[in-house]
Structure 1
Amino acid sequence: MLDDMFDHLEHVRHGPVWQQAPQAIRATMRCPLPLDPTDLGDVHDHFREAVLPFHGGNIHPGFMGWVQGGGSAVGMLAEMLAGGLNANLGGRDHMPIEVERQVVAWMREGFGYPQSADGLFLTGASQANFIATLLARLRRCGPAVREQGLAGAPGLVAYASCDVHGCVPRAFDMAGLGTDALRRIAANALGQIDVEALRCQIARDRAAGFTPFMVVGTAGTVNTGAIDDLAALGALARDEALHFHVDGALAAPGIFSDRLAPLLAGIEGSDSIAFDFHKWGSVPYDAGFLLVRDGGWQRAAFASQAAYLTRASSGLAAGDWWPCDMGPDLSRGFRALKTWFTLKTYGLKALGRAMEANCDLARRLEQGIAAHPDLALLAPVALNIVCFGYAPGGQSGDGEINRRIVEKLHAQGLVAPSLTMIHGKPAIRAAFVNHRSTIADVDRLIEGVLAFGADDTPTG
C-alpha cells in the first residue's frame, strides 16, 4: 500500500488531473453489507482499480480550480503513524496532547498573539468560523447564553464583506442567530470590505436598537483572493467594542512568507483567526485551525462538568489542557501530528517560499491574459487566484462560453480550473495552491482555454 502511494505521488503529473469513473466502476461500490471477511489484498486491489485512478485531482500540478492543498509525502507518513497510535485528543495526560500544544504555541508566536492565546485543531475553517462566532456571542452576552440561549440578548448583528465565504452566514444559522444577523457590506474595487460603509452600517444598526457584536475580516476571499484592510478593521472593532475575527482560510498562513506577510498587516490585532493547514500549509486533509487571543473565552464557551470526565492530580486522568474544554469535540483525531511533522520537516520558510511561488504563477497567468487579445481579466489579482474569460476580439458576451470551456478542460484532464461568477457572469477561476504546479501548467491552461474557445466560437 505504501509503495503504491509513493509511486502515485511520484508519477501523478503523468496522469490526468481528473477522469470520470465509468458506470461499471461505480457499480463495484454498490454491494451487499460485508458480513464475512475479505482478504486485505483483495480489498486493496479494489481500491487500486476503483478509487485511485478516479480521485479528485487536487494533488495533481494541473489542479487549479478550487482552493485545495496538495499535501505531501511527509504528511501522508505522519497520518500512518497517527492511525497506528489511534490517539484520542479530547484530553488526559499523554504526549499527543503536547504535540498539539506545541503547534498552538508556534501559531501564537507566528501570528504575534499574546501568551494568553490558545487554539485548537478542527476539521477546517468552516468549523473554526462557527466556533469563533460562538465565542463572540458569549463575549457579548455573557456565560448565561449557554443556559438561557438568545432570549435575553435579542438584536445581535455582525458584519462581513459581501464576498465573505458561505460558511460564515452558515455559522450564524447554526449559532441560532440567523443569517440575517450577518450584515453583508459592499466591497471596493479591489474586492476588500468598504470600511466607511461598514462604519455607517454599524451606526444605523445602533440607532435602530440592534446590538453589534462582531466584525469578520477576510484574508483571501474565496472568489478572487482579496485581503481586507485588517488594520483598519481592527481599529474600527476596538472603537466599537466588537469581536474582531479573521477568516484566513485561504491566506492567513502567508504570514510565514516575508513577501506576503505585509499584506496581512493588522492580523496580529484580531481576536481570533480561522485558517487551514491543509491549504497553503501542504498538510493532508483535514487540518483546520482556530487561534484565539484569550483561551479563557474558549473555556467559558465549552468547558462543562461530567462524571466520566473527572480530572485527577496524577495518572492518565491528569493534565491541565484538555481540548474538550476548548471546543465542541470530545472524540478528536491526532490532526496535530501531520502538521507537526510538516512544519518541522520542511520549515516555515520553505512553506512560505512555496506560497510565493503560487503567487508568481498567478502573476504569470495574469501577464499571459494581458498579452492575448482573446482573453480578458475579470477581477484584480490580489494573491494566488485569477478570474478571467475567453473574449474573442475583446468581446466577453454573456460568459456562457467559459462554462463550456471549463467542462472541456476537465474532460481533457491536463488542467482543471473551476467556474465562478463575476458580476453575474460565468468566469474561469484558477487558484494556485499546489506546491507541485509550474509555469508549464499555466501555459497549458492558457493554451487549452484558447483552443477550446476557438472551437466553440462561430466563424463569420
Structure 2
Amino acid sequence: MNSADKNPIEESLDPTDWEATRQLMHQMVDDAIDYTANLRTNHVWNKPPDSILNKLKTPVPIEPSEATKVYDEFKACILPYPMGNIHPRFWAWYMGNGTVSGFIGDFWASVMNPNLGGGNHSAHHVEAQVINWMKEIMEFPINSSGLLVSGGSMANFTALTVARNVKLNYDVRTEGITSKMAGKCIVYASSEVHSCNQKAMEILGLGGNSLKKITVNIDYTININALKTQIKTDRENGLFPFAVIGTSGTVNTGAIDDLNALSEICKEEDLWFHVDGAIGAIAVIAEDIKPQLTGIEKADSIALDLHKWLHMPFEAGCVLIKDPEAHKSTFSMIPEYLEKHERGIASGSNWFSEYGLQLSRRFNALKVWMSIKEHGIHKFGRMISKNVKQAKYLGQLIENHKDLELLAPIGLDIVCFRYNPGNLPIKLLNELNREIKLKIEEAGIAVIGYTTLNSLYCLRIAIANHRTINEDLDLVIDAILKFGHQEITKLKQ
C-alpha cells in the first residue's frame, strides 16, 4: 500500500520502523564525532561545484524518500561544503567553533521541542538560570532583567528599544515617534560601532542619521572629548540625546572603549549607557583580560554574543538590562490567549515573550547550560586567554618579517596587517592583499578576514577559536608569504 492509499487518520510523521531509525541515528552520531574529531585534516572551505548546486535546486518533493537516502544526499551535497567556521584555521567573520556538549544540547532541544515564549516547564527555568549566570558573570544585580536572543544584532536592538522608551519620557508604544521628536533623538557611538546598531536605529523609526558616529583615537577607541563636544553642540541645537553605545571589542580591531569614562558622561548627561559587548564582553571570565573591561558593570544594558567567544553553536545571544520594569513595559503584551493562570502549565509571572519581539522561541538555553556545566566557566576563560596570547604571537611573527606590516594595534584577539614588500602604490598593494586572501581561501588552507582601515586593505585574523594552535598561525604566515611572492613575481614578468 503506498502513502496515497493510507488512512490519514492512522498516519503520522513518526517512523514506521523505529529500530531502523535508531540505527540511522547511531550512524549519524558516529559520523558527527568523526567529522568533528578530524576537522584539521579537511580543507577549511571548499567551493560547491555547479553540479552540487544544481542538485540543490530541485522542485519540492511530492512523495517520501527513505531516510537513509536523504542522509546520503546530505553527506554528498551539503557536508563537504561547509562555511568552515568550526575548523581550527577559520579566523574570518567573528564567530566561535561550537562544542560537542553544545551540539548535543541542540539535539535534545529539538527532541523536546518546547516553545520558550512562556509556560511553567523545565526549559523556561533553564533559560532563567542561564540568564542569571550571565548576570553573575557581568556583575549585574540579580534582579536585573535578561533574555536569550538570536545574537548581537537582536540584543542591541532590544536594549536600544528599552533605552528609547525610557528616555523619551512619553508613551512611545502608543504614540510612536511624534513630530516633536522626529529627527531629534540622538544616540552616540564610535565610528567603529557595529552596523547592526545603525540598523536598530532605522528600524526603531529614529533614522540612521540619529546615530552620531564619534571620531576615534589612534587605537580605534572612541574620542571622549569629541563625544562631550558633540553632546553639548546637539543640545544647543535643540536635539535630544538619549543614549551612548560603548563598544567592548570593535569588529575591525578589537578595541575597547573607555567604559568608565562613558559611564561618567552618561551619569552627568542623564543618558542611557549601553555596551555592545558582542565581541569582547564575555572576556571578563579571563582574569588576565578582565581589567581591560573595567566599567562594563556600570552599563544600563549589555549585548552579549554567546556563539562568539563562548563557542555556543548558533544561535545564542543574550541581552542584560538593569531595569526589569523598563524592559518588561517595553515589550509586554498579553492577549486573552496568553493570559496566565495561577496553576498549571500557563502559570508563572514572567514569560520570556514579554521581554522581546518573539513569541515563538527555541530552547537555545540548553546548549549553553550543558556546555557551561561540562566545562566550567574558568575553562572558557582559559580559552579566551589562549586566543589573546596567540594574537600577540601572530603579531610577533608579522613584526619579525620585513614583508609583513601591522596596520593597527592588536585589540584582544584581532590582528590587522598586510603583505607589503615595499615600493608599491596603495591601490596595487590593496589588490595584492585581496588576491592573497582569496588564494589562501580557495586552496582550503585557512579562511582569514579582511577590512579597510584608513583606505588600506587589511588581512584581518580574529582568533576566536578554541581549536587553534600556534602551528596553525605559522602555517598561514608561510602561505601569505608564498602567495605574496608568487604575485610579485608575476608583476615583474
TM over 0.5, yes or no? yes
Aligned to 1:317: 346
Structure 1 CA distance for aligned equivalents of residues 357 and 337 of structure 2:
16
Letter in 2 for 1:448: A
Q: Which of 40, 48, 52 is the matching residue for 2:75?
A: 48
Structure 2 CA distance for aligned equivalents of residues 422 and 349 of structure 1:
35
Give the count of matched residue pairs: 460
Evaluate the alpha carbon distance shift between residue 394 and residue 231 of structure 1 in structure 2; reply closer, same or farther with a 3 A threshold: farther
Letter in 1 for 2:272: H
- 3-state secondary structure, aligned to 2:356: coil
Compute the displacement of 1:284 (Å).
Answer: 0.3
Contact 2:145/2:324, CA 8 A, preserved across alignment: yes
Compute the displacement of 1:92 (Å).
Answer: 1.0
Compute the displacement of 1:298 (Å).
Answer: 1.2
Structure 2 CA distance for aligned equivalents of residues 97 and 424 of structure 1:
48
Compute the displacement of 1:395 (Å).
Answer: 5.6
Aligned to 1:2: 29
Compute the displacement of 1:221 (Å).
Answer: 0.4
Contact 1:75/1:283, CA 8 A, preserved across alignment: yes
Q: Which of 126, 129, 133 is the matching residue for 2:160?
A: 133
User: Deviation above 2 Å: which 4+ runs of structure 1?
Assistant: 393-398
Aligned to 2:329: 300
Compute the displacement of 1:289 (Å).
Answer: 0.6
Compute the displacement of 1:422 (Å).
Answer: 1.3
Structure 1 CA distance for aligned equivalents of residues 169 and 426 of structure 2:
53
Aligned to 1:203: 232
- 3-state secondary structure, aligned to 2:234: helix
Structure 1 CA distance for aligned equivalents of residues 98 and 127 of structure 2:
19
Q: Deviations over 1:140-170 (max 9, x none)?
A: 1246100100115331101000000010101
Structure 1: tracts of 5 or more residues without a match: none
Aligned to 1:272: 301
Structure 2 CA distance for aligned equivalents of residues 120 and 211 of structure 1:
28
Q: Which of 41, 54, 60 is the matching residue for 1:27?
A: 54
- 3-state secondary structure, aligned to 2:392: helix
Is residue 438 from structure 1 mapped to residue 465 from structure 2 by the alignment? no
Structure 1 CA distance for aligned equivalents of residues 82 and 54 of structure 2:
16
Evaluate the alpha carbon distance shift between residue 304 and residue 366 of structure 1 in structure 2; reply closer, same or farther with a 3 A threshold: same
Evaluate the alpha carbon distance shift between residue 395 and residue 373 of structure 1 in structure 2; reply closer, same or farther with a 3 A threshold: farther
Letter in 2 for 1:338: K
1:3-402, aligned counterparts within 5 Å? 3-142=30-169, 144-151=171-178, 152-154=180-182, 155-393=184-422, 397-398=426-427, 399-402=430-433
- 3-state secondary structure, aligned to 2:84: coil
Structure 2 CA distance for aligned equivalents of residues 401 and 295 of structure 1:
52
Q: Deviations over 1:160-205 (max 9, x none)?
A: 0000001010110010000000000000011100011000000000
Structure 1 CA distance for aligned equivalents of residues 406 and 181 of structure 2:
46
Structure 1 CA distance for aligned equivalents of residues 332 and 487 of structure 2:
59
- TM-score normalised to the size of structure 2? 0.92
Letter in 1 for 2:124: I
Q: Deviations over 1:271-306 (max 9, x none)?
A: 000011101001100001101111111111001120
Letter in 1 for 2:105: A
Evaluate the alpha carbon distance shift between residue 359 and residue 396 of structure 1 in structure 2; reply closer, same or farther with a 3 A threshold: farther
Compute the displacement of 1:65 (Å).
Answer: 1.3
Q: Which of 467, 477, 485 is the matching residue for 1:454?
A: 485
Contact 2:247/2:275, CA 8 A, preserved across alignment: yes
Contact 1:66/1:430, CA 8 A, preserved across alignment: no
RMSD: 1.1
Compute the displacement of 1:452 (Å).
Answer: 0.5
Contact 2:146/2:321, CA 8 A, preserved across alignment: yes
Please identify, of 105-114 and 43-52, the stretch whose mean Cα deviation from structure 2 is larger: 105-114
Structure 1 CA distance for aligned equivalents of residues 323 and 284 of structure 2:
20
Structure 2 CA distance for aligned equivalents of residues 236 and 20 of structure 1:
49
Structure 2 CA distance for aligned equivalents of residues 168 and 45 of structure 1:
42
Please identify, of 386-395 and 181-190, the stretch whose mean Cα deviation from structure 2 is larger: 386-395
Contact 1:376/1:394, CA 8 A, preserved across alignment: no
